Amino acid sequence: MTTAYDVPANVLINRLSGYMKENIREIQPADWAGFVKTGSHVERMPQNPDWWYVRSASVLRKLYMNGPVGVSRLRKEYGGRKRRGVRPAHFAKAGGNILRSILQQLEQAGLAQKDGTKGRVVSGKGRSLLDAMSTQIKRDLDRENPELQNY
């Protein structure tokens, strides 16, 4: 059985974000999502108009891979280098409200669930969605590149 570990992350996230945009009503960008940066280390707001769905798909994949994960760990994962002018750059965490809102929406959609005080994990519905998407991607990649089937 093919899982999310067996396919490239960028292909899975792109296809999953398109699926979320078309089929899952619970995942919608917040009203303020068009005006915010994703963290203090970023200079501008995202250029992709569908960035909310891409980030949601990425968070769902991280829940699948790293399982129970909370907002604090996700802030660290999505953080980055903050430029401070002439002073040396330092690491800065990402904003938490975006990640918290996405986790809550994934939970409302039934794709994630709380795991006590440890954080959130992928639910059975979310796991089956990711596995089905991964199987479809693997099949498409094998059809495009038959010489890679040996690996």
pLDDT in tens, the chain (151 residues): 788 888 889 999 999 999 998 988 888 988 888 888 888 888 888 888 889 999 999 999 999 998 899 999 999 999 999 998 999 999 999 989 999 999 999 999 899 999 888 889 999 999 999 999 999 988 888 888 777 666 5
Give the Cα separation of 89 and 132 in Å (integer): 41
List the CATH number of the domain containing 10.
1.10.10.10
Whether residue 106 lies inside any domain: the answer is: yes
State residue 148's pLDDT score.
Answer: 67
Q: If you write DSSP's letter for every residue of 24-67 in order, what string do you get? A: -TT----GGGGT--SBTT-SS--S-TTHHHHHHHHHHHHHHHH-
pLDDT at position 149: 67
Structural domains counted in the chain: 1
**Strand 120-122 relative to strand 80-84, pairing:** unpaired
Owner of token pair 């990711």: 130
Domain assignment present for residue 151? The answer is: no
Q: Determine, yes or no, domain membership for 96.
A: yes
Question: What's residue 19's pLDDT?
Answer: 92
- The pair of structure tokens assigned to 112 is 């994630």
Enclosing domain of residue 29: 4-146
Distance in angstroms (rounded) separating the CA atoms of residues 126 and 111: 4
Please report where in the chains the tokens 């909370």 appear, as a residue.
70
Q: Is residue 131 part of a domain?
A: yes
